[in-house]
Amino acid sequence: MEFQLRISNDPRALGLVEAFARESLRHTPLDESAPLQALIVAATRQIIDHAYPPGEDGRIVLHSRQLADHLEITIRDFGLPEDIAALETSLHNETMRSWLGHLPHTDAADSLHWTGYGPEGKALTLTKSFHDIHVTDHAGDLQPFREKPPLAPEQDYTIRRMRPTDALTISQLIYKAYGPSYFNRDVYYPERVAAQNASGAIISFVAEAATTGEIVGHYALERNQPGPVAEGGQAVVDPAHRGRKILDRLKAAAIDHAREIGLAGVWADAVTVHTFTQKANLALGAKLCAADLGISPASETFRGIAAPASPQRVTCLLYFLPLRSRATRPIFAPPLYESIVRRLLAPFGASLIAGQCRPPSGHGALTLQLVPTAATAYLTVTQPGLDTVVAIRKAMRDLLEHSHAEAIFVDLPLQHPATPAIAEALRPAGFSFAGIAPDFLPDGDLLRLVHLVDDLSPEGMRIEDPAARDLVAYALADRREVMEN
């Protein structure tokens, strides 16, 4: 269900905003959420007061969208550009205040995020989950899996799509395997697992043991990118049933489904704490795309698996499994990176054309996603412009100084002719090469750059194949060159 309200920047319109907030919530399980209503009205009031110069008439659009597991409210203006990173930081850090940093009831929403549209204003998005019952609130045994339990009797396993009644067992499996450290917090809320599967945002497959009918394995496709791809993850198999290729069968079922629904590919981040996930991706035929240096905190733990060899941030290797042929498309890679970009894209069978690069023009647009628990931030440039480099530099300063980010990734559209100029201009700010991400955008691929606070050593990584070692070595060497210059 969706609602939209268009108003002018006249404070007298706030009565309509109150009715809009009330009506949006009335059709959800959040009907009585007075703090959330107050937050929506207060945020709109601040935008009315500050989005346009004094005396200028402007418009504001509120959009409410009810999904299976959460409500999403977007408040969009078309007025003055703002420092999006500073606004974002003010929402999450009390020491950094902007004009929207004094909102009441900010904890009434599960997340608040800004999106910048350059000369076309900005938008604040509030999300609120319908489900807040954690897996630990349910009765049941949540002790960690024993590292070497007795093996269950040999038996058949049925691989199938999950049912709503499986959600609690899935959350319990993940908790037993990962403890409370799994980066996607939604997996710990069974009702969210069920709702996200109902909406198609998550597509879960389970392994059911024939002898007991228990769910003993899980694997999911996550639709978390704007392009026609899915991330494969949330993998877990009860140790009493391991060694029987259950995870391989779960992945095969998920990949077959991804083909059926027309996805361009499935991707996965394989940690370098161990080589198990790397080997699994290589066995599937997935291709190496990026070395996501330091993407996860050193505190990330994996029950039953050896701890990292050194106390540094965890690097992941991005693997991509193509599921359909790729059309001829231009690439606009910086000259310094053109050779390695071509090498990374070559296994996908795409015909690539080196496009005629040009300087950025007009105003740019980018989005920011901050993951405080991982001290990681992602800046995605959706429209390169003359102000893009300045905006990224400002965002970097705010993220480092106020949000204490330790890793900042910048994703640039590889099919845009201004990408090379922006990538080269970001090198003096400390951004170096990480890799590519095929089909992560609706109309093409991404070039990924990274800025790290602390050094990384390859001795702290366990890497399976020579190609991955070479890519990590290239990325680390490029980082050293950037930092030395």
Domain boundaries, the chain: 2-129, 132-263, 329-484
Distance between CA 278 and CA 465 in Å, rounded?
Answer: 8
- Residues paired with 436 in a beta bridge: 447
Residue ranges in the chain modelled with pLDDT below 50: 95-98, 306, 308-309
- C-alpha to C-alpha distances, 352 to 330, 333, 451, nearest whole angstrom: 6, 11, 28
Could you count the other beta carbons within 10 Å of the beta carbon of residue 38?
Answer: 16
Q: Which CATH class is domain 329-484?
A: alpha beta
Q: For the chain, how big is the Rg over CA atoms in Å?
A: 23
The CA distance from 134 to 280, in Å, is 30
Question: From CA 432, how far away is CA 417, in angstroms rounded?
Answer: 19
Q: Which residues contact 13 (CB under 8 A, 6 or more apart)?
A: 7, 48, 60
DSSP-derived letter for residue 32 is: T
**pLDDT value, residue 410:** 98
Phi, psi of 193 (to 5 degrees): -55, -45
Which residues lie closer than 8 Å to 245 by C-beta, 6 or more apart?
A: none
User: Do residues 408 and 451 make contact, with C-beta atoms less than 8 angstroms apart?
Assistant: yes
Domains 132-263 and 329-484 share a fold: yes
Output the CATH code of domain 2-129. Answer: 3.30.565.10
Q: What pLDDT was estimated at residue 319?
A: 97
Which residue has 């608040």 as its token pair? 112
CA 446 to chain centroid, in Å, comes to 14
Measured at the alpha carbon of residue 477, what is the angle toward residues 473 and 481, in degrees to the nearest 5?
A: 175
Q: Judging by DSSP bridges, how do beta strands 329-331 and 352-354 pair with one another?
A: parallel
| Residue 299 pLDDT | 65
List Cβ neighbours of 78 (8 Å cut-off, separation of 6 or more). Answer: 51, 58, 59, 117, 120, 121
**CA-to-CA distance for 78 and 56, rounded, in angstroms?**
12
- The CATH superfamily of 132-263 is Gcn5-related N-acetyltransferase (GNAT) (3.40.630.30)
3-class secondary-structure state, position 74: strand
What's the pLDDT at 310? 55
Structure tokens at 20: 């809009």
Taking alpha carbons only, the member of 108, 271, 74 closest to residue 182 is 271
Query: pLDDT value at position 131?
Result: 78
- Tokens 């698996």, residue located: 305
Give CA–CA dist 194/202, Å, rounded. 9
